[in-house]
Amino acid sequence: LGLSQKEYIDRVLQRFNMQSCSVSDAPIMKGDKLNESQCPKNDLERQQMKDIPYASAVGSLMYAQTCTRPDISFAVGMLGRFQSNPGMEHWKAAKKVMRYLQGTKDYMLTYRRSDQLDVIGYSDSDFAGCLDSRKSTSGFVFLLASGAISWKSVKQSIIASSTMEAEFVACFEATSHALWLRNFISGLGVVDSIARPLKIYCDNTAAVFFSK
């Protein structure tokens, strides 16, 4: 079973005149930095951005990432922080996500038949990735039948003092969501193994040790 939004992505690219754009290898690259210093600072710069449909583009991308594209969640979350006063660099970053979708619009979420259905989670975090607040960004994804069923990328509410702390907060947020997810799936009565503890993987050894 596969879930795809190819036709929707084609309509989005057509809407923003990106149907013939070049392809980007990733929605955001290492070293790409978005911050408030790139926002318009005077009336002339704000006037230049007035006719650019930034908020509409971010909204269209957000719908795609909510439904079937967890791979753009981090980038779309970054773009959403500047909707009130976007600058040209932010608009270029939004178009970069669309160029990535141009090359990956055939991607789909795939679910495979299995005799053993287990929900497996993965959590991760950057460290002080927001240049304006020095806050980190948490991310997690849960898989069932080898396909993603729930995911999220969100800026943390606290300022972490270390990579371990940022990773631990991300793991905690994933655990909180796992509890809700287990209750929801239990109510459906389709996954017998949901009664067992869910597995959540974290790539930070210190955070795993501290959680025990």
User: Are 25 and 45 contained in the same domain?
Assistant: yes
User: Are 32 and 83 contained in the same domain?
Assistant: yes
Strands 137-144 and 147-155: antiparallel
> pLDDT, tens digit, for every residue of 157-167?
999 999 999 99
Number of domains in the chain: 2
In single-letter form, the type of residue at position 87 comes to G
Least confident segment among 75-84, 158-167, 182-191: 182-191
User: Are 118 and 77 contained in the same domain?
Assistant: no
User: Are 181 and 117 contained in the same domain?
Assistant: yes
User: Are 69 and 128 contained in the same domain?
Assistant: no
Position 191 pLDDT exceeds 80: no
Higher pLDDT, 180 or 195: 180
User: Are 137 and 83 contained in the same domain?
Assistant: no
- The gap from C-alpha 88 to its chain's centroid, in whole angstroms, comes to 22
Instruction: Give this prediction's pTM.
Output: 0.91
CA distance 145 to 131: 38
User: Are 205 and 153 contained in the same domain?
Assistant: yes
- Beta bridge pairs of residue 138: 125, 154
Give the Cα-Cα-Cα angle 25, 55, 79 (nearest 5 degrees).
45
User: Are 75 and 97 contained in the same domain?
Assistant: yes
Instruction: Give the number of other Cβ atoms within 10 Å of residue 17's Cβ.
Output: 10
Position 194 pLDDT exceeds 80: no
Domain that holds residue 130: 112-211
Contact 128, 160 (CB under 8 A): yes
* Residues whose CB is less than 8 angstroms from the CB of residue 179 and which lie 6 or more positions away in sequence, other chains included: none
What is the number of residues in the chain?
212
User: Are 8 and 100 contained in the same domain?
Assistant: yes
Identify the band that residue 209 occupies on the pLDDT scale cut at 50, 70 and 90: confident
- Choosing from 83, 104, 125, the residue where a domain stops is 104
User: Are 127 and 172 contained in the same domain?
Assistant: yes
User: Are 97 and 8 contained in the same domain?
Assistant: yes
- Choosing from 86, 104, 122, the residue where a domain stops is 104
Identify the band that residue 179 occupies on the pLDDT scale cut at 50, 70 and 90: very high
- Choosing from 53, 88, 104, the residue where a domain stops is 104
